[in-house]
Amino acid sequence: MSRYEYNVKDHSAEQKSVCDAWNTAYNLNYGQIKYDIPEATGSGVLSSSFINRDIRIINYNLNLKDPIEMRGVSKEPHIDIMFCLGESIHWDLPESRKEFELIQGESYIGISKETKKECVFPAKCNMNILEIKMPVSSASILFQEDCNMETFESLKTRLLSNERHRISPAVGSVIHQLINSPYEMKMSRLYTEAKLLELLSFYMSESLLQTDKPALTRNLTKEDLDCVYRAKEILDNNLVNPPTLNLLSKLIGLNEFKMKKGFKEVFGTSVHAYVIQKRLEIAKALLDRDSLSVSEVACRIGYGNVSHFASAFRKQYGINPGSYMKNIRI
């Protein structure tokens, strides 16, 4: 029996094909699948992996030519964890008459008890959502292994409130590793399961088990939020030689104070720290895959001083880049 059923308002062959793939991905009972979005519909990939304890990881990274209005029915309560890695997405909950939205860099966790959901996947939008679906029973087993009973009861209360949280650098790093597995077939399944447990451990610890860390609230206007994401885009495209704060604020049309405050609110870190973090992520990827030396990697990401690079890398990853390179290239 299918736990989740999806249908589309437009019954054209192209949209029905996408809907069929959605149903397959969400009801997968073994292994992994990958579905390429037809060229007539847009571009991108929908993938799904079945993990032990009836847990599924669904990753959709797509850009559609026309909107797709999809309606879904869930036949049992489950926990949803969603990470918005692309442009924002929203969906409606008809039974409670509520709307929900996730913007880039945010995550959502909660127990889904509503059976009906509606979502419009917009056209010409770079959507990328990583979603973890698990039965409540599976989550109870996982969480109780790491919590005492009092903490577990508090955790269940927070799950019912459907919270949003920022995606931290640590969580973001594990997500990147999870969706970019270096392995294939059987080893990939083992790697995916290991990374899933690592992701859940980081995410639960940061988002739910720290009682002094509240859920995310937004204090920015839609216009200011767009400016902040434009600032991030500019930084991502100029990590080696980023603009000054003054120039960046002029480029996005937001005063420097509001930009810095908004950037910290949305991404949980300062502009300067964000640039360093992203540089080091690139450095780690280069050390993982290329034959470059430490000094060459440092130069590639904009460090003129290798010692400064080594210090920053050690602070971020707890190991010197030279030692890391030797370990990874054995």
Averaged pLDDT in 10-residue chunks for the chain of 330 residues: 81 88 90 91 93 89 92 84 88 69 84 76 91 82 58 61 78 88 74 89 75 59 85 93 96 94 85 93 86 92 93 91 83
The CA–CA distances, whole Å, from 152 to 105, 212, 266, 294, 301 equal 27, 16, 29, 45, 43
Task: Return the pLDDT at 213.
Answer: 53
Q: What's the pTM?
A: 0.70
Domain(s) of CATH 1.10.10.60: residues in the chain: 222-328
Domain(s) of CATH 2.60.120.10: residues in the chain: 4-207
Pairwise CA distance, residues 277 & 316, whole Å: 8
Pick the CATH number of 222-328 from 1.10.10.60, 3.40.50.300, 1.10.10.10, 3.30.930.10: 1.10.10.60
Task: Return the pLDDT at 117.
Answer: 79
Pairwise CA distance, residues 301 & 321, whole Å: 13
Task: Return the pLDDT at 181.
Answer: 81
CATH class, 4-207 region: mainly beta
Task: Return the pLDDT at 34.
Answer: 92
Task: Return the pLDDT at 132.
Answer: 93
Task: Return the pLDDT at 156.
Answer: 61
